[in-house]
Structure 1
Amino acid sequence: MTSPQENPLALLSEEDRETAVQRLKAAYADERISHEEMDERLDRVLTARTGSELASALASLPEGKADTTSTIAAAGGRIRRSGAWRVPRHLKIESAFGKVHLDLSRAVIGHPVVDIELQLGTGGARITVPHDAIVDVEALRNGWKDLRYKSPSQVRPGGPKIRISGTVGFGRVKIRHARR
């Protein structure tokens, strides 16, 4: 697949448009652009038809950060993240003994796709995702207890895709959508 920068006359895909929207959200969250500028640029991104139109709407914005993996590790005890924290593109959680609680409902998610890798020994994980998130748990392996996740009957488009993978030994993973 060619990116809009490689062929500026090519028609945009929804993935190209979503990536641009996420870049605008990240720039606004980092206070690099004002609310008014965010609205104006967002309108241009949503109505852009070609790569060159998209590039002009994103001009002077910083390039997306390189994908890095952030690791949160604990031998024992709890791992907890909640509130307005910035979620990295790749997040690895390692815990030998202890519980994990990740609340993404008010977190700043600057990527259309977030990969969360769990490496848990004893203890479980409770993950709260945004109400409009799409959750993929196909690559998650539970050793002892079953996964508890019920996908909503309807998910509004535009939310992030959260891919959860890894291994959980003796614990349960519970995933739920925030109420709003």
Structure 2
Amino acid sequence: MAGELTPGAAPGAGDPTRLRISDAERHQVAELLREAAGEGRLDLDELDQRLEATYAARTYADLVPITLDLPSHPQHLRPAAPPTTAPATPRAVSADVVPGPERESHFAIMSGLSRKGLWVVPRHLTILALMGGAELDLRRAKFAADEVTITINAFMGGAQVIVGPHTRVRMEGTGIMGGYSGPSGLVEGHLDETSPVVRIKGVAIWGGVSVERKHL
């Protein structure tokens, strides 16, 4: 009869997004929401609504809309510099920094996204990989600022980021049944005060984000 389960089959079999989540995973998402509210990204009403939805969630698919528009980590306040009579030495400007866009968003939904060759990485780049994949090759890229942030949210998808020896990488992603890794590779970094900084943030649920360092 229609609607009956095949003998021996579990509900959601074959679709990982329908698998049940644990209390620990609900707490992880709740902590992300509280950090976002502390940054001013959510007001108190939105926080209450999303927390209620988080603790009512049963599957990984239920968590996707709750955190889809949020980065994974707050920008922590930096301690104030100690008083000094001498002016601070300005950071050397990299030749890789050129005028470019403030922010861009791209989507790989059951499809692929590729950026390589000569292109300009905006100050804030957001990628959503939903059952899809993204490849970002930064080896020949220019940057719209000496520090850029790439937020990659991967849900049953993945992303690979390739950087050259001169790029400094800071990984700040959160994995829930997924992971963030890198930078890996056999190429050592050759970093100095002019090296552009790439912060990689986001949430990976049943997905992965990796960074690999390669020769130019």
- Partner secondary structure for residue 164 of structure 1: strand
Match status 1:103 vs 2:179:
no
- Partner secondary structure for residue 147 of structure 1: strand
Structure 2 residue aligned with 1:79: 113
Work out whether residues 22 and 111 of structure 1, in 8 Å CA contact, stay in contact via their aligned partners in 2.
no
Moved over 6 A (4+): none
Equivalent in 181, 184, 196 of residue 148 of structure 1: 181
Percent identity of equivalent pairs: 26
Work out whether residues 96 and 142 of structure 2, in 8 Å CA contact, stay in contact via their aligned partners in 1.
no
**CA–CA separation in structure 2 for the residues paired with 1:23 and 1:106:** 12
- Cα RMSD over matched residues? 2.8
- Partner secondary structure for residue 131 of structure 1: coil
Structure 1 residue aligned with 2:169: 135
User: How many matched pairs?
Assistant: 131
Structure 1 residue aligned with 2:70: none
How far apart are residue 164 of structure 1 and its match?
A: 0.4
**CA–CA separation in structure 2 for the residues paired with 1:95 and 1:117:** 11
* 1:24-51 Cα deviation digits (max 9, x unpaired): 952xxxxxxxxxxxxxxxxxxxxxxxxx
Normalising by structure 2, report the TM-score.
0.53
**CA–CA separation in structure 2 for the residues paired with 1:109 and 1:156:** 16
Normalising by structure 1, report the TM-score.
0.62
* 1:112-131 Cα deviation digits (max 9, x unpaired): 10100011211111100121
Bigger radius of gyration among the two:
2
Structure 1 residue aligned with 2:104: 70
Go from structure 1 to structure 2 and tell me whether the alpha carbon gap of 1:71 and 1:135 turns closer, same or farther (over 3 Å shift): same
Aligned-partner residue type, residue 73 of structure 1: F
Structure 2 residue aligned with 1:161: 197
- The equivalences for 1:10-89 within 5 A come to 11-13=87-89, 16-18=90-92, 21-22=93-94, 25-26=97-98, 68-89=102-123
